[in-house]
Amino acid sequence: MKKRRFRWELYLIHIIIALIVLLPLAFALISSFRPLDEIFKFMSPVTWKTFIPVELTLEAYMSLFTERGFGRIIFNTFYVAFSNVIFGLLIGSMAAFAFATFRFAGKNILFLLVLVTFMIPPEVVAIPLYSLVDSLGWVDTYYGLIVPSIANGLVIFLYRQFFLDLPNALIESARMDGASWFRIYWSIIMPLSKPVTVSAALLIFIQQWESFMWPLIVTRSKEYRVIQVVLSDFTTEYATYWNEMFAAAIISVIIPVVILLPLQKFFVQGISSTGGKE
C-alpha cells in the first residue's frame, strides 16, 4: 500500500504558489482600507509600512458609493447577470429536453450547431454583432446588455448530458397518466435537475460578472455601465485614486468568491463535464 511520509518539498512548492496567487489580492485588500496619501507615502522605499497599514479607513469604499455611483453599477451588473441566469437556464433546459427526449428531423444538424456556437467565443462576434444590435435600437439599453447572451450552447450541452442519464420510466409513466410534454419537462424533469441547474447557473453568472468586451461596446452612458467596464474606465479617469481602484477591484472579486466558494463543487462539476467530453 501507499506509504505516507511528510513531503516537505511538496508543501514548500504549494506554499510558494499560494503566495503568488494570494499576495496581490491581499495587498489590494489592505491597500483598499488605507487613506490615499498613505499608499503613496509608504510605497517606496519598502518598509513594513508598505504592507501594513498604519491607519485604516473606509474612505475608498464610501467614495465609490457616494461619488462614483457604485450602487447603480452593482445593481446593473447583478440585473444583467441574473436575467441571463434565469432566461438562460429556462431556454437552455427546454432545448436540451428536446434533444434528450425526442427523435425529430434535423436533430443531428441542430445539435452540431449547438456545439459550434459554444466553441465560438463571444469576443469574435462582439464587433459584427454591434451592427445588428444597433439596428435593433438596443445600444445603451438593458436589452443590448442582456438579450444577445441569453441563448448559450454550453448550457444546452450541460442539461442534455444530465437528461440523457435520467431513467425512461419517469417519462413513460407520466405519459401514461396523460401529462402534457411541457408538464413533464416542468414538473418532473426540472425538479430532478437541481445539481446541473446549480452548475449551469454558476457558469452563466461568472461569465456575465466577468464579461467585458460586449458591455464596453454596447453601452455609452454611465447609466448602463457594468462593473468590469467601470474598472477599465477608472484606469483612465481616476488613475491616481489608487485606494479606490483597489477597493473597486476587491468588490469585483469578493462577490463571485462569496458565491463560488461554498458551491465550488458544482462549478467544477460543470466545467469538468464539458472538458472531458468535448
Return the residue of 12, 22, 54, 62 that touches other proteins, per CB under 8 A. 22
> Cα–Cα distance between 6 and 126 in angstroms, integer?
51
Q: Work out how close the CB of 75 gets to other proteins at its nearest, in angstroms, rounded to a whole number.
A: 18
**Residue 70 interacting with other proteins (CB under 8 A):** no
Return the residue of 59, 63, 94, 143 that touches other proteins, per CB under 8 A. 94
**Residue 35 interacting with other proteins (CB under 8 A):** no
**Residue 92 interacting with other proteins (CB under 8 A):** yes
Return the residue of 78, 79, 186, 234 that touches other proteins, per CB under 8 A. 234
Return the residue of 52, 167, 178, 221 that touches other proteins, per CB under 8 A. 167
Answer for the pair 188, 170: CB distance below 8 angstroms, yes or no. yes
Q: Work out how close the CB of 55 gets to other proteins at its nearest, in angstroms, rounded to a whole number.
A: 18
Q: Residues in contact with other proteins, total (CB under 8 A)? A: 104
> Cα–Cα distance between 100 and 213 in angstroms, integer?
34
Q: What is the DSSP string of 50-85?
A: HHS-SS---HHHHHHHHTS-HHHHHHHHHHHHHHHH
178 φ, ψ to 5°? 80, 25
Buried b (16+ CB within 10 A) or exposed e, 147-161: bbbbebbbbbbbbbe
Grid cell, residue 99, equals 434533444
Return the residue of 12, 17, 56, 62 that touches other proteins, per CB under 8 A. 17
**Residue 7 interacting with other proteins (CB under 8 A):** yes
Binding mask 95-134 toward other proteins (x if CB under 8 A, else -) reads: x-xxxxxxxx--x--x--xx-xx-xxx-xxx-xxxxxx--
**Residue 213 interacting with other proteins (CB under 8 A):** yes
Query: Which residue reads 419517469 in cell numbers?
Result: 170
Q: Work out how close the CB of 56 gets to other proteins at its nearest, in angstroms, rounded to a whole number.
A: 18
**Residue 139 interacting with other proteins (CB under 8 A):** no
**Residue 46 interacting with other proteins (CB under 8 A):** yes
> Cα–Cα distance between 195 and 241 in angstroms, integer?
43
**Cβ count within 10 A of residue 174:** 17
**Residue 235 interacting with other proteins (CB under 8 A):** yes
